[in-house]
Chain A
């Protein structure tokens, strides 16, 4: 083998060496990247909150301006009120008790005629419109409602967390609470 052939051989080896090292590096990074991607996908929760349409009441039982307390299967209180005389979903209102600021539970303060959130001092009027504190201008979430053949239905989440035995977990039978006004 002449010296020029030996040089060409060395160049070829050098080139092939670099190519294979590069290919290995790319392969290794790709495999680690794929693994990291799978890990993130694994950690990212699958699916959204499962909801269901539940029966609330016959529309005729709710007078204009009247309201009733409803509890989701998870036990979260919802205020359902009639705001129009008609028989469409738009004539009703279902307010969530979850504060739109940072998710605490509001409660009704009869003496102040408002909902109050104890976490960051948010207040809402009877229609769920924020009147004070950080959520001013925001509104309490409204659940979707549907009227079919004079029956009022509400779409609510059906999952709840299981807490230690002893704490009451209301089911559908206990859904209807006492009548009240907002």
Chain B
């Protein structure tokens, strides 16, 4: 008791305060796993931070050492292969979960008034996730890493007005050079994760301020409680998902461990080269349209995605029954799937 009293004096937070902070009633529909897709990338983000910090102990970000250090992690360091494979698979899952979470929010209209700004924060988180994925596979210094960074730099350059400046800032020079990898490493391991933590705090704060969107549940009987407790019920759901993810990640890391591609060769672009799957859409888009047109159109699409809650709100103020967002969403999903599968199936 003495210790408890001592602690209570120094940490003046009561159990009631903690309960009030954590025990917000959660709508019943959150018992379904697909409504927990927002917690899934957050969980995976923690996995990435832990495995990433461990990998950084042995990673050396310079062209002359990067590939060898990744080889050391993969082939020599005890359980290095496991940590790197978990990091790689968790990245894949994280991107997939973020996209699915965004689709769920989109199709259930969870972005509508008054939650528009949280959608915008979510869009920033999506872009950060994609950038952290891009800078991540650039660090391995495989062929894909080098050419991905080169192409990424030149895409940046084709942005009107500020493109050349951004490219030089990104690569640390006019082209890929000795200082490029350390820039990518700082972005991947420090700047983007810090930014993501800040954005996540705002994202969750908005969620708590507005509460989770409530839906009418057709299976619900009259008199049923519409909510359940965050602690311990919802935390248990998240923990179950966490357990399933850990089993899945470990299984995939063991069966399909992260391999080493050929070392970067600035003089030879491989005959067949593809980015990670989550950039297949962009990659195919760049093949379909000339440089600046492709970049500007992609920028425009991202811009519309950012503003969609306001565009949708504008439409619904004029036509309250409009479900145009559903059709826009279906077309967008079909385009994404078509371009991704197309790119996956062909060599060029």
Contacts and interface: CB of A to CB of B under 8 A. Distances in A.
B65 A164 contact: yes
B287 A134 contact: yes
A36 B292 CA distance: 30
Nearest to B168: A45
Contacts, number: 98
Interface string B108-139: 00000000000000000000000000000000
B173 A45 contact: yes
A119 interface: yes
A109 to B, nearest CB: 10
Given A43-B169, A102-B151, A105-B269, A164 B64 contact: yes
B147 interface: yes
Contacts of A135: 290-291
Instruction: Among A101, A102, A104, find the residue whose CB has the most chain B CB atoms closer than 10 A.
Output: A102
Given A119-B147, A119-B273, A161 B178 contact: yes
A161 B177 contact: yes
Contacts of B264: 163
B176 interface: yes
B153 A77 contact: no
A120 B174 CA distance: 21
Interface string B175-186: 111110000000
A49 to B, nearest CB: 5
B266 interface: yes
B286 A162 contact: no
A104 B172 contact: no
Interface in B29-84: 63-65, 67-68
A121 B269 CA distance: 12
Given A45-B172, A49-B174, A74 B269 contact: no
Interface residues of B, number: 42
Contact of B269 (A44, A49, A117, A136): A117
Interface in A1-55: 43-45, 48-49
B287 A133 contact: yes
A135 B290 CA distance: 7
B155 interface: yes
B172 A118 contact: no
A76 B68 CA distance: 23
Nearest to A47: B173
Interface in A78-109: 101-107
Given A105-B268, A134-B287, A161 B147 contact: no
A110 B133 CA distance: 37
Contact of A118 (B67, B68, B154, B270): B270
B289 interface: yes
A165 B290 CA distance: 38
Contact of B348 (A76, A107, A121, A162): A121
B265 interface: yes
B63 A163 contact: yes
Contacts of A63: none
Given A103-B153, A163-B263, A134 B269 contact: no
Contact of B294 (A43, A75, A134, A159): A134
Interface string B260-301: 000111111111110000000001001101110010000000
Contacts of B64: 162-165
Contacts of A118: 269-273, 348
B92 interface: no
Nearest to A101: B291
B150 interface: yes
Contact of A49 (B151, B173, B178, B283): B173
A118 B274 CA distance: 10
Contact of B169 (A44, A75, A162): A44
Interface in B142-163: 147, 150-151, 153-155
A179 to B, nearest CB: 20
B295 to A, nearest CB: 10
Given A45-B179, A162-B64, A164-B67, A104 B263 contact: no
A119 B151 contact: yes
26 contacts: A44-B165, A44-B168, A45-B173, A45-B179, A49-B174, A74-B266, A75-B266, A102-B151, A102-B291, A103-B153, A104-B269, A104-B273, A105-B266, A105-B267, A105-B268, A118-B273, A119-B151, A119-B269, A121-B348, A133-B287, A161-B177, A161-B266, A163-B265, A163-B266, A164-B64, A165-B64
4 nearest A-B pairs in the assembled complex, by CB-CB distance: A102-B154, A105-B269, A104-B269, A103-B154
